[in-house]
Amino acid sequence: MRARERRDAVVFAYAYAASERDAVARVIDELAKELRSQGLQVRVLGLPERLIVAPGGTPCEKFRRLSAEVGFLLRSVGVVVRRLRHLRAFVSVDVPSGLPLVGALARVLSRGRVKDVAWVMDLYRLATPQSGTVTNIRSSVELLALRASGDIVTIGSCMASTIAELTGREADVIPLWHRALRRSDPVGGASPLQMLYSGSARDLHPLQGLVTAIAGRDDVHLTISGSGSEVENVRAMVADVRSTNITFRGFTPENELESAYADADLHVVSLAEQMTGTCVPSKVYASMSAGRGVFYLGSPKGQAAVDVATSGAGVVVGSRDVRGINEALDDLVGRPGQVANIAQRAGQFFDENRTVKAGGSRWRDRLLS
């Protein structure tokens, strides 16, 4: 192991890289495997799984999480110092706050030989008003670290614009991807139209407009598979109106995801309009990978919404536009074969633009340039 580690040329550092349910961790793992297949030596640096503490929780749990993140920062510095001679690039990914400063240290110590890249996938804390001393300190550190980075890479043009506004720095865009999923032909034209929302849902993933629109419709069925504050909100709504065309399930196990995706005609993705430019929902590309169209709730200006609209891979409508949601559903239900056409375009867009291989090639060019 030690001999192999001495040959590491590219390090991707993300505190929660070992988390099985973390979407960012999955993206990094997929990229690392692809870059290795293209001949690069890659190491993913993260906290041991036993030290990972979920966000929120009790004050004690929050302290443990903060302590683990500080320890990870120190460990990252140690990796840079010990293996500086063998480093080609240090890529910091979002968490913890200040991580890009480690990459900047590698660049300085190597006199510019090591490429220092801050890979930004989430701008929520920087782009939205925050309260609390600790949160404000973390936001300030994150802003300082981004400004100190040698290069910034993000996952959507909308996020690049936000980064430019916050830091005065330009960011390169390398779009998100998803691993290839098994596909089956969509039913298309069957009734009711089967819709699926899968994953966590918080206040930035509004679903109440959709639930209001479809409650009681006999031609649409929505399955919500996941958890979070927004799931609980819509669960209460459904109980009040006693709607039978909306059902709830827990998180789908990883080994059952492909079947769950295939069972739906359309996949629902939601991002609050005010969050546009802070992240790009990876659920869009999971849906496309599975050969399913997307019913996108949010601003048409977001990267994922642009991809859905320009590729003809689904529908984009405001998250609170109940009338618009119903009109879009009426159109889909009323035109037999339309769902199948959308699904075909989604799969085609994914195959041409959003595979792991395509993302890996873009990253390889970026790291070796």
Q: Which residue has the tokens 């929520």?
A: 124
* Beta strands 314-317; 293-297: pairing state: parallel
CA distance 327 to 65: 45
Confidence of residue 5 (pLDDT cuts 50, 70, 90): very low
Q: At residue 134, does pLDDT exceed 80?
A: no
Q: Domains in the chain, start-ordered, CATH in brackets?
A: 2-177+356-368 (3.40.50.2000), 193-353 (3.40.50.2000)
Helices and strands per DSSP (H, E), number in the chain:
15, 12
Q: At residue 218, does pLDDT exceed 90?
A: yes
Q: For residues 62-72, give the mean pLDDT.
A: 92
More confident residue, 242 or 158: 158
Closest CA to 13 of 100, 88, 143, 71: 100
Q: Which of 7-21, 69-83, 106-120, 218-232 has the lowest mean pLDDT?
A: 7-21
Q: At residue 130, does pLDDT exceed 80?
A: no
Confidence of residue 190 (pLDDT cuts 50, 70, 90): low
Q: What is the chain's mean pLDDT, rounded? A: 92
Q: For residues 223-246, give the mean pLDDT.
A: 94
Residue 299: the pLDDT is 98
The tokens for 86 are 């063998």
Confidence of residue 241 (pLDDT cuts 50, 70, 90): confident
Residue 1: the pLDDT is 39
Q: For residues 67-79, give the mean pLDDT.
A: 96
Burial 123-141 (b: 16+ CB within 10 A, else e): bebbbeeeeeeeeeebbeb
More confident residue, 125 or 363: 363
DSSP structural state of residue 248: E
Q: For residues 71-91, give the mean pLDDT.
A: 96
Sheet holding 10-13, edge to edge: 42-45, 10-13, 89-93, 115-120, 151-154, 172-173
